[in-house]
Amino acid sequence: EPEVTQTPSHQVTQMGQEVILRCVPISNHLYFYWYRQILGQKVEFLVSFYNNEISEKSEIFDDQFSVERPDGSNFTLKIRSTKLEDSAMYFCASRTPPDGTSSYNSPLHFGNGTRLTVT
């Protein structure tokens, strides 16, 4: 079964450094998402992306964050200047487009996550 792939599985960085988290969504999916989960807390929406632009973002997704689909397969999340509070598990997700027969909201398929540790 196709999977959403995220790399690296664990990234350690120093405060103030830039990090790029990488994701390869399922190949025929068109909607892409980033979520994060601070240790022991709930999963929170960051941003959704469709047709090469951000379609929705949360309050968490401030100017330090950006997303990009640099080619036909990768979807990246960049944090420009990391803070201690950015330490979390970051999940990439994707889903199929709606069609005439399937549910309007097909389920999100999540990757295994990248654990980001900011020291």
Partner 1 sequence: AQKVTQAQTEISVVEKEDVTLDCVYETRDTTYYLFWYKQPPSGELVFLIRRNSFDEQNEISGRYSWNFQKSTSSFNFTITASQVVDSAVYFCALSRPQGGYSTLTFGKGTMLLVSP
Footprint on this chain of partner 1 (rule: CB under 8 A): 31, 33, 35, 41-45, 48, 50, 55-56, 58, 89, 91, 93, 97-98, 103-105, 107-113, 115
Q: What angle do CA 43, 71, 85 make, to 5 degrees?
A: 30
As a whole number of angstroms, the distance between CA 66 and CA 106 comes to 25
Q: Which is nearer to partner 1, 14 or 51 (CB)?
A: 51
Q: Which is nearer to partner 1, 13 or 44 (CB)?
A: 44
Q: How far is the CB of 45 from partner 1 (least distance, A)?
A: 5
Q: How far is the CB of 7 from partner 1 (least distance, A)?
A: 14
Q: Which is nearer to partner 1, 33 or 79 (CB)?
A: 33
CA dist list (Å): 27 to 60, 65, 76: 28, 24, 15
Q: How far is the CB of 8 from partner 1 (least distance, A)?
A: 13
* Residues 38, 96, 31, 113, CA torsion sign: positive
Token pair in block for residue 67? 């997303």
